[in-house]
Structure 1
Amino acid sequence: MDFKAMRATARERLKGYCRVCAVCDGRVCAGEVPGMGGAGTGNSFKANYRALEAVRLAMRTLHGVTEVDTGVSCFGLDLASPVHIAPMTGVSYNIGGGMSEEEFCDIVLAGAAKAGTLAWTGDGADPQMFDSGLQAMVKNGGRGVPIIKPRAQDEIIARIRRAEEAGAVAVGVDVDGAGLVTMAQFGQPVGPKSVEEIRELVASTSLPFILKGIMTANEAEAAAQAGCAAIVVSNHGGRVLDHTPGVAEVLPDIAKAVAGKITIFADGAVRSGADVLKLLALGADSVLVGRPIITGAFGGGQEGVSALLEKMRIELVQAMLLTGVARTVDADGSIIA
């Protein structure tokens, strides 16, 4: 894959919505929501990038690790990489409408499957957004994870049933979407959830249940106590609340509180395989990547998405070799300088 050409194509197709900056750190697109930027001043988006950038890896070359294994077991599947595609919706108003919601979902699910990992799909103001993800899952053998906005309980459970019918491997709710004004503007109200409501949702399905949007240790513990199979440490890409910490800042405390009790995903400014290793070392079991996948989808379609994921996996291999980490589960704080 010619990544330079892919980025040039994406830049042209995303004109007015994303500049496909050489460094995707949220500075140029601050406040561009709808769009690809961060909310308000863009501080939370920038905090994700800066917090992860500040983490340093301790290079170690005097060891016996000559081969590494990037594979992980997740939701009963053996995956080639701990990098999953984050749920993203709103192609028409966030990404310029250069392709349909259905086409975007199909591209990311097929690209993830080709790379040996999973794509997560989202929910939005238009019901067709959630439907597009489910349709793509059916087309791709159910290899997907639908994430539902924090709607009324009956609305969420109805969508969980449809996710089950589509063959999804897991399902969840992104509680970090509780303040999305676009949902209310389209008559689709969302809001925070109580622990009792989360417990009810967990009990409503036999699928592994994920809570996305956890940024404190006490809420991570509450999610574990409610029976969630996994959490995603995430501030919604910095798109919902200005002035939050970066994911890499809060992840160690969250991992200290719930590691081993619940699967931990981290979602915040992953741009390379080295970033993946940093988050694993800080306590994540796997990571989600978002904005770079849009560049891959618009710049190279399914092949662009799979090529970006494979590029990250190869970078992860290199980073693991140069820190003495044989398996992803072996990454810990000892490799942080």
Structure 2
Amino acid sequence: MDWEEIRSAAKDKLKGYCRVCPVCDGRACAGEVPGMGGAGTGAAFRANLEALARYRLNMRTIHGAKSPDTSTNLFGCELGTPILAAPITGTPYNMGGALTEREFIGAVISGSRLAGTIGCSGDGADPAMFDAGLEAITVERGWGIPFIKPRAYEEIVRRVRMAEEAGARAVGIDVDGAGLVTMALKGQPVGPKTVTELQKIISATTLPFILKGIMTPDEALLAVEAGAKAIVVSNHGGRILDHTPGAADVLPAIVQAVGGSVVVLADGGIRNGADVLKLLALGARAVLVGRPLVIGAFGGGAEGVRQVLTRLTAELRQVMILTGCQSIKSVDSRILYQG
């Protein structure tokens, strides 16, 4: 199955919940939450792409970076690429239901491993969503990272214990889920967390703990204070709060604020290998990709997911050659044009 066949099959199965547009920029699906679009006007969705587009790359071709190494190590996992699968849930109300939650997340977790990387699973109003992710991670012998919504302490810890039993490599909370419309519609209590509350949660496990949804330097420092091992700079794909800046807009200041005291990851608006390289150059250790993998999973299952991740990695390798980057560790802000 080639990429166009995958796209065609995805468009049919997604039933308009995602139009599989030639350019995935959030314009056709603005305001569609539930759904794959951005909240309100969709400005936050578009801001992710616009922020990345503002950066330009310095082309360098007099160097020895002929065969770049895209491998990296994250939470003790040796990965062939710094591109991870972001946690996504809600196939019935966000994606039309042609795939069950278990079929979808199974494709994401297995496809990620086939591509030499690791996938994340999510949480939602239906307990089956989190359970499906853990089942998929268990099948892959713990090769996955589950994220939990900012629920009550007891509910979070119960899910952390499930992640431990599944052998997950790390665990996280997408703290930006505090205002998620779909959770509110299903009567699931979620909300902001204080540093003290986060410290209590994080101290309840020995797994590396990730806080996803950090968008300001001050909250990045609070995440460090709470004991997080990693943060994800993310505006939840623009699906939480309208009019936020894009992840690439705020990433440099956050990286500078934490100064290497925590692993910084980023997501939002990644559509090609150049986008990946830009976020790495801005200071991210690795990136998470979301919406493109929905198309891969619905259009081609685990193989579709593998193709998306493999394609992005091949594009990343090509732009590394043309910017003089021999390895992921060698990527820094020098590759970005400062006009």
- Shared fold, TM over 0.5: yes
Letter in 2 for 1:156: I
Structure 1 counterpart of 2:200: 200
Confirm or deny that 1:224 pairs with 2:211.
no
Structure 1 counterpart of 2:26: 26
Corresponding residue SS for 1:312: helix
For residues 38-77 of structure 1, the aligned pairs below 5 Å read 38-77=38-77
Task: Tell me by how many angstroms 1:240 deviates.
Answer: 0.5
Within 2, Cα distance between the matches of 1:10 and 1:42? 22
Confirm or deny that 1:2 pairs with 2:2.
yes
Q: Is the 8 A contact 2:33 2:182 kept in 1?
A: no
Task: Tell me by how many angstroms 1:30 deviates.
Answer: 0.3
Within 2, Cα distance between the matches of 1:37 and 1:187? 22
Task: Tell me by how many angstroms 1:259 deviates.
Answer: 3.6
Within 2, Cα distance between the matches of 1:154 and 1:95? 30
Q: Which moves more between the two structures, 3-12 or 237-246?
A: 3-12
Task: Tell me by how many angstroms 1:272 deviates.
Answer: 0.8
Letter in 2 for 1:179: G
Q: Is the 8 A contact 1:31 1:37 kept in 2?
A: yes
Q: TM-score, normalised by structure 1?
A: 0.99
> CA RMSD for the aligned pairs?
0.8
Confirm or deny that 1:113 pairs with 2:127.
no
For residues 68-217 of structure 1, the aligned pairs below 5 Å read 68-217=68-217
Q: Is the 8 A contact 1:87 1:290 kept in 2?
A: yes
Within 2, Cα distance between the matches of 1:183 and 1:120? 19
Task: Tell me by how many angstroms 1:9 deviates.
Answer: 1.1
Task: Tell me by how many angstroms 1:55 deviates.
Answer: 1.1
Structure 2 counterpart of 1:305: 305
Letter in 1 for 2:154: D
Within 2, Cα distance between the matches of 1:182 and 1:105? 18
Corresponding residue SS for 2:179: coil
Letter in 1 for 2:93: Y
Corresponding residue SS for 2:213: strand
Q: Which moves more between the two structures, 62-71 or 201-210?
A: 62-71
Q: Is the 8 A contact 1:259 1:283 kept in 2?
A: no
Corresponding residue SS for 1:70: coil
Task: Tell me by how many angstroms 1:187 deviates.
Answer: 2.3
Structure 1 counterpart of 2:293: 293
Corresponding residue SS for 1:320: helix
Corresponding residue SS for 1:292: helix
Structure 1 counterpart of 2:328: 328
Within 2, Cα distance between the matches of 1:260 and 1:326? 22
Q: TM-score, normalised by structure 2?
A: 0.98
Task: Tell me by how many angstroms 1:211 deviates.
Answer: 0.2
- CA offsets 1:122-176 (integer angstroms, 9 cap, x no match): 0001011000000111111110100000001111011100110011000010000
Within 2, Cα distance between the matches of 1:275 and 1:134? 30
* Identity across matched positions, percent: 59
Letter in 2 for 1:145: I
Letter in 1 for 2:137: M
Within 1, Cα distance between the matches of 2:185 and 2:316? 41
Within 1, Cα distance between the matches of 2:262 and 2:133? 25
Task: Tell me by how many angstroms 1:4 deviates.
Answer: 1.2
Task: Tell me by how many angstroms 1:182 deviates.
Answer: 2.2
Which 5+ residue runs of structure 2 have no aligned equivalent? none
Q: Is the 8 A contact 1:280 1:332 kept in 2?
A: yes
Task: Tell me by how many angstroms 1:119 deviates.
Answer: 0.6
Within 2, Cα distance between the matches of 1:187 and 1:38? 21
Task: Tell me by how many angstroms 1:63 deviates.
Answer: 1.4
Q: Which moves more between the two structures, 236-245 or 6-15?
A: 6-15
Within 2, Cα distance between the matches of 1:211 and 1:280? 19
How many residue pairs were aligned? 337
Within 1, Cα distance between the matches of 2:115 and 2:166? 21
